[in-house]
Chain A
Amino acid sequence: MRLPVWRRNQDRELDEEIASHIRLAIADRVERGETAEEASHAARLEFGNVVIVKEVTREMWGWIALEHLAKDVRYACRALRKAPGFAAVAVATFALGIGANTAMFSVINAVMLRPLPFPEPKRLVSVTEVDQRRGDAGSSSVAWPNFFEWRSRSKAFEQMSAYHERAFTMVVGGRPVHTPGAIVSADLFATLGVQPVLGRGFRSEEERAGSDVVVISDGLWRSEFGAAASAVGSVTTINSRPFTIVGVMPGGFRFPFGVPAAQMWVTCAEDARTDEPGDTPMTAERGAHFISVVGRLRRGTTLPAAQVDLDAVAAALAREYPDDNGNRGVKLTPQLESLVGDTRRPLVVLLAAVGCVLLIACVNLANLLLVRGAVRGKEIALRVALGASRRRIVTQLLTECVVLSAFGTAAGLLLASWSIRFVVQVSPANLRGLDEVTIDRFVLAFTAAVGFASALAFGTLPAWLESRAEPRAGLDESGRATAGRRHGRMRATLVVSEMALGVVLLIGAGLLLRSFHRLAHSDPGFDGSHVVTAKFTLPDNRYPYRKQIAFYDELLADLNALPGVQASAASPLPLSGLRYSISFQLPGAKVPASEQPSAAFGMVGPGYFRALQIPIVAGRDFTAADDDAATRVVVVNESFAHRYLAGRDPIGQRIKPGLSTTEKETPWREVVGVVRDVRHLALNEPARPTYFVPYAQGLISSLFIVIRSATPTTVVVDQVRRAVLRKDPELALYDARTMDEYLTLSVAPARFQTMLLTLFAALALVLTAVGLYGVVAYGVAQRTREFGIRLALGARPREVLHLVLRNAMRLAGAGIAAGIVAAAFATRLLGSALYEIRPLDPLTFAAVAATLVAVALAASFVPAHRATRVDPIQALRTD
């Protein structure tokens, strides 16, 4: 016997111990007067067989269990090799279940579980404002002045910093490059705990207007600056202004986590600038809530303690600025959790679904093992008769399951590593961490644990049942039927529960499919086909307010002159993810600023509604005549008219939005038109009250160019690019997309969930069908003799066929019924994921039931047909 290395020492000691025993015995005998030769001979004789003594002693060393295990594993491998069909089906079933689980879990691991790539990520928290009138639902972005107050007054944070994403146009080598970036407070890098690899981070005095410094990403440094150390300290043109590059972040640094990733960071000096002396900069606007805040808790400070600390600051601010901060609270969330946000629920539902698939696979395997156990009853009965203990037999049968599961798990991992790419491809692009989905050690541990637990789950029951095999019953003449019949009911129960699980998954998938179909075919309120959009940023030092409007006016005129083109401009676009909200005043009693209603807001050019085919239901569209010199006008949507102007003819009513651009004071605006509602944020969210102003009377951000044209997209984008560059060669066109792409993007999360759940349900259906087939086929095989007798006695094949099918359908019926009851509860989990479909949609339930009946019939028809072909003579002769 070869000993493992760690036993060799112990073995040598045993040798020495035995040698000393014999030596002592010899010495004793010599003392008693024997000759050395006699003594040596007698002592050895008395000691007995050294090899055997050693062997039995070694058994006490505790590795005997291991030795048994190795024996069991070898035995299991041999048994599986002898039943290659069984082994292949079992391993494949298991691999499917494990593979799906591993793939899904690796996504969840990357998105929800893996810590953020910063030092001590648990201390990072996200801070948002909360509209206390609306509770948790009212959580919103932060206004710069509030952030500054929090930062200086709170004591719970080591650092706190703010950021918001913003794209810039950087001129590199004379070429304008559209560069996604972020405007951040000076201490962002310190808060995250990451410092530039080259140069330095921002200094606090660089938050003041006029300090134009920039930190660039490793990627940008390599692609645009040739990875030259001299890049730091050099001056580059950003939005037509000279900026000094002060630092380069390490490769792999990513923050914020938006898509596309930020490539450059500038300080909030950018927001502290004003175009005209006397204007209020964004950093001082108490009503402009658009930044995000991340803080690093002091070591030892808990989240609730920090919450209490900031609550006090917010309460103080509410007293000091009742108009703006009257109902504003703060809310702290662990940073990772806030990034996961709404994606948690769909991912958890999918994990549950994939868990069900594994459960079905386990039930299938348990069934397979029961069938196999019935066949092997004789072998086991023999071993029991020969004195094997029940525990020993159970251990050995379980070892077989574990060996099966080990092969299945390995194959599953392989499947998962292939399918992860697919899962990532169909998942919505804005899921953070998706680009880092890998099978890491944590996933491996999860898979191993699940594989092992499943082996025990599907193996315990059959092993226990088999070990109870009566030695005598098993050894009866044929050794065939007895064990099998006893397990028949167990197999039936298993197959029923398996079908029930399959029904639940199929109903879930069916509901999502129907919901997705409705969503994809829902009316967004506009017609986006043949509409192309694109964006560029006008640097405001070269384009003061009026020049920006003029630029858009002229560009639209140029574009509209092209044949077959309807061009306009607007911001925000529906389904683009952007939303502006501005409070307004209605005529009548004056309400305090903090109590004013707020509605969605849009800036649009003339012809925008026509370009998107949004019908004007009353009044008129904006025209070129609605310019800065004309009466201030506004167009509202139906929801707005219904909510705020109800009972009156909306046309001619007046509202006063808190939107001032060139006026000294915000002007009253006259409603000149009502347009139909548009689903702005998402297809499954009802339209909100919205008002529109002509961009010529209130431009506050860059506009999207919107073009309806029959010409192919690429040609249109080219036309726009040329038109823009002709007017200003330093501008970079970006976000060129069709409206259809925005539509597709907006349903991407729903499609992700639907696709995967459908896939899992299909997997479940196949496994269930295989399971039912197995049970029916085994039942038929067992009753071969009975069918033979029936046929011999004159039963018609049809009758035998019906007999088998009836039994199979009884099982299927029970499974479907149980599944429907379970689904009635389980589908509530889908809840908000369903669009215009009730969780108890009768059509889906009926369709799934019908599908399963059909599949069950198909799965049992083959064995049933075989039953009719039994040759009576042959059947009676068996054994």
Chain B
Amino acid sequence: MPVPRYRTRIELLQGTLDLLILQTLQWGPRHGYGISQAIRTVSADVLQVDTGSLYPALHRLERQKWIRAEWTVSGRNQRTRVYELTAAGRKQLLAERSRWEQVSAAIGSILAHPGAVE
């Protein structure tokens, strides 16, 4: 049984989860479980998305028409709800990415500043 990694889990900033979901879906349609697994694997288990955040976010993004959901039948003859990016979602992803880059650059330069500001 794997050791719980709750200590290393990071509270995601508001809006960041949206960015992660959109980015994940850019690689192709996925169901909810798939998305959470992808985020977890790609971030090397650092980012774990809580289902209580994931599903509200998915349903909200769907309402905003950035993603689209469809029921598909998997190989084992089981129904799953698969999400995919819409055209508006692609645009949103670009916007959020550039915003994220600005913010992280800004934070980075503050952290890199040598002198203390008094």
Contact = CB atoms under 8 A, between A and B. Distances in A.
Interface string B88-99: 000000000000
A481 interface: no
A56 B50 CA distance: 12
Contacts of A52: 52
Contacts of B100: none
Contacts of A13: 71, 81
Given A57-B59, A60-B60, A17 B50 contact: no
Given A42-B1, A57-B56, A21 B78 contact: no
Interface centre among B1, B58, B78 (most CB of A within 10 A): B78
B16 interface: no
Given A20-B80, A23-B78, A57 B31 contact: no
Indicate the member of B32, B33, B63, B80 with the most A CB atoms within 10 Å. B33
B79 interface: yes
A59 interface: yes
A53 interface: yes
Interface in A148-202: none
A13 B60 CA distance: 15
A20 B59 contact: no
Given A21-B32, A62-B63, A56 B81 contact: no
A430 to B, nearest CB: 59
B117 to A, nearest CB: 31
A24 interface: yes
B95 to A, nearest CB: 21
B51 interface: yes
A450 interface: no
A47 interface: yes
A56 B55 contact: yes
A6 interface: no
A48 interface: yes
Contacts of A24: 31, 33-34, 80
Nearest to B48: A46
Given A16-B79, A20-B81, A24-B80, A60 B59 contact: yes
Given A20-B33, A24-B31, A61 B59 contact: yes
A365 B104 CA distance: 53
Interface in B57-102: 58-60, 63, 71, 76, 78-81
A14 B51 CA distance: 13
Interface string B15-31: 00000000000000001
B33 A21 contact: yes
Given A57-B56, A59-B56, A60-B60, A21 B79 contact: no
A7 to B, nearest CB: 12
Nearest to A28: B37
Contact of A17 (B34, B63, B81): B81
Contacts of A18: 51, 55
A25 B81 contact: no
Nearest to A32: B2
Given A13-B81, A59-B56, A47 B51 contact: yes
B52 A20 contact: no
A20 B78 CA distance: 8
A14 B55 CA distance: 9
Most B CB atoms within 10 A — which of A23, A24, A59, A61?
A24
B55 A57 contact: yes
A241 B1 CA distance: 114
B59 to A, nearest CB: 4
Nearest to A17: B81
Contacts of A28: 37
Interface in A11-48: 13-14, 16-18, 20-21, 23-25, 27-28, 38, 42, 47-48
Contacts of A49: 52
A776 B50 CA distance: 59
A49 B50 CA distance: 11
Contacts of A23: 78
Given A21-B33, A24-B33, A25-B33, A61 B63 contact: yes
Q: Which of A25, A53, A60 has the most CB of B within 10 A?
A: A60
Given A21-B31, A21-B51, A57-B55, 8 more contacts: A14-B55, A17-B55, A25-B33, A47-B51, A53-B55, A57-B56, A60-B56, A62-B63
10 contacts: A13-B71, A16-B81, A17-B80, A20-B81, A21-B32, A23-B78, A25-B33, A47-B51, A48-B50, A48-B51
Interface of B: 1, 31-34, 37, 50-52, 55-56, 58-60, 63, 71, 76, 78-81
